[in-house]
Amino acid sequence: MNVNSPNSLLTVPTGQLKIPELPPTSVSVGSKTILLSLVIPTYKERDNIKNVVKTLSQLLDESIPRDYELIVVDDDSPDRTWEVAQSLIGKYPQLRVMRRQQERGLSSAVIRGWQVARGSVLGVIDGDLQHPPEVLTQLFTAIERGADLAVASRHVDGGGVSSWSIVRRFLSRGAQVLGLIILPGVVGRVSDPMSGYFMVRRSAIAGTILHPVGYKILLELIGRGRIGEIAEVGYVFCERQEGESKVTWKQYVEYIHHLLRLRLSTGLLGKFSNRTRFPIGRFIRFGLVGFSGVFVDLTVFRLLRTVIHLGLTRSTIFSAEVAIVNNFLWNDLWTFGDISKRQQEPHQRLKRFLKFNAICLAGVILQTLVVNLLCNALGMNEYFAKLIAIAIATIWNFWLNLKLSWRVTDVK
């Protein structure tokens, strides 16, 4: 029940995405905590939400009567899903509704819901009945038996997807393989890292500041939480009855960004970045720009070696210079765009380019030394040596350019 009038909308939390240790007293009537808080993130689910609330309430009234709550977190859906949900509060006293108007996104919606939750177990289920509600009892039993996290998985026995296209299956599996390469310690802990249907013990994630990106909140919890035992329950991802999926290419790009960010902010790299306040997001952008530069560099290197038949060292230097110009333009526009737009004078831009060039040329010298060392001293394949040299030079270039070329001069 809400402390205000029973049908009122929940106040939307702001600030850090951090789950409190215990339920916030402001919402727990008589400070009674409950067993399960199940968040239902919705966006344009007007035609599904009534059925979802009814089905979940019937199921949970049987298994844990009056010891659960449903929290619909709607991102100001144009079809006013939040209004339909709000109209159900009178009939379903365990239902609470949040309408977000300043923030958007599936992952942050779930966390905002958990921030006002009163349960010692926090769960999430889609608001379109594609996650079979009956699996909830098995998830809850797994938590009661000691698991910190219980995940509904399409990839264990009893799991599956109703009728996904080959493309969707390929993309989902492809995303999983990419995750196993970039973040094996996280993605490898579950068979269905893309699942958005699970329960987690509040104590396993409370107090941790979360930085989810896009859809995949499960990765964030495994990557940053104190997750010990993980249980999995097979389920079949059902067909939508109403509305359509909101998954677009944007979610796939966000997924890769999320993997890289988790990679760079957890484990050994995470400890380094926290100690040195290493700007992860900027480094990812710098790395992606550098990646485009690698293609420019290698293409020009190959052309110089095979078409013009230039020597090894001169080919390395010329191809690197062309890549430097490519990288400067993209870094000035994107990676450090927030800084460079405050320094738009032509002489400032020229100064940045010259500094960038000097630092990167030093990086080329470093590359040339590494390439010659690996090829001539160790007999390594020249293209493989070149890739290693580029990686070393990238870290050198980022750190020095951050500090010297695009340095933020805070004018006190």
Instruction: Show the site string, 378-407: x = touches ligand GDD by CB under 6 A, - = not.
Output: ------------------------------
Return the residue of 128, 148, 192, 332 that touches Mn ion, per CB under 5 A.
128
CB of 48 or CB of 94, closer to Mn ion? 48
How big is the site for ligand GDD, counted in residues (CB under 6 A)? 24
Number of residues that bind Mn ion (CB under 5 A): 2
Taking the least distance from each CB to ligand GDD, the nearer of 152 and 317 is 152
Stretch that binds ligand GDD, among 57-65, 189-197, 299-307, 347-355 (CB under 6 A): 189-197
Piece in contact with Mn ion (CB under 5 A), picked from 28-36, 84-92, 120-128, 205-213: 120-128
Bridge partners of 230, per DSSP, are 149
Please tell me what DSSP assigns to residue 332: I
CA distances from 154 to 42, 122, 160, 166, 248 (A): 21, 21, 4, 15, 20
Q: Which residue is nearest to ligand GDD (CB)?
A: 196
**Which positions from 130 to 159 touch Mn ion by CB under 5 A, shown as an x/- string?**
x-----------------------------
| Closest distance of CB 340 from Mn ion, Å | 41
Binding pattern for the stretch 215-234 against ligand GDD, x by CB under 6 A and - elsewhere: x-------------------
Distance of closest approach, residue 5 Cβ to ligand GDD, in angstroms: 23
Instruction: State in angstroms the smallest separation of the CB of 386 from ligand GDD.
Output: 39
Which does residue 43 bind out of ligand GDD, Mn ion, none, counting CB within 5 to 8 angstroms by kind?
ligand GDD
215 or 406: CB nearest ligand GDD: 215
Segment 309 to 368, residues that bind ligand GDD, using CB under 6 A: none
Q: Which segment (19-27, 99-107, 132-140, 397-405) binds ligand GDD by CB under 6 A?
A: 99-107
Q: What is the 3-state secondary structure (H, E, C) of 220-283?
A: HHHHHCCCCCEEEEECEECCCCCCCCCCCHHHHHHHHHHHHHHHHHCHHHHHHHHHHCCCHHHH
Backbone angles phi, psi at 102, to 5 degrees: -100, -30
Residues in 60-89 at the binding interface with ligand GDD, rule: CB under 6 A: 73-75
- Give the nearer residue to ligand GDD in terms of CB position, either 74 or 148: 74
Q: Which residues bind Mn ion (CB under 5 A)?
A: 128, 130
Contact footprint for ligand GDD (CB under 6 A)? 41-43, 45, 73-75, 104-106, 109, 126-128, 130, 194-197, 215, 237, 245-247
